[in-house]
Chain A
């Protein structure tokens, strides 16, 4: 059974600080990893993808992948109140025809 585990939170971070979100995955066959942001009542929105070990930066977001430890993380620098949302970590096997395995999400609250 493929699983992606996340701490459900809530994770409370002061405005301007760095928010650190983590997840682990069970399937060593997973090739691709994604972070989605989901606002309450809305559908998930892709914010980062990462395919190889190391860091990938996009604006205020940095995704980190360690395949040996089966660990994925997302850092949000200079956190803003608009970053308050649920963040979903997802893993994908090669090809992706059978979809993504999602974690249950971490609820992030940025305190003004």
Chain B
């Protein structure tokens, strides 16, 4: 079946440093969604990308969808302690296949 892997599994940064998580699918994706899950919380939708090569920005967050629609990335510029959590990519529109997730820890 479809597998969606994310790297790194875990990253610990100092506040102000940048952070990137990469998402790779074993099959071509129709779309990619990104979610953030705070410790002890539930996933919260961040964004959806649909077009090949699409790039979207949300303040300090930049999302990219690969040309081949098999990979995606999330880049956070100048991390803040509020960015702490696990970031998941997910393929699909309603029935989602979640990536393995990247846990981000930000030290002040």
Say whether A associates with B. no
List chain B positions with a Cβ less than 8 A from chain A.
none
List chain A positions with a Cβ less than 8 A from chain B.
none
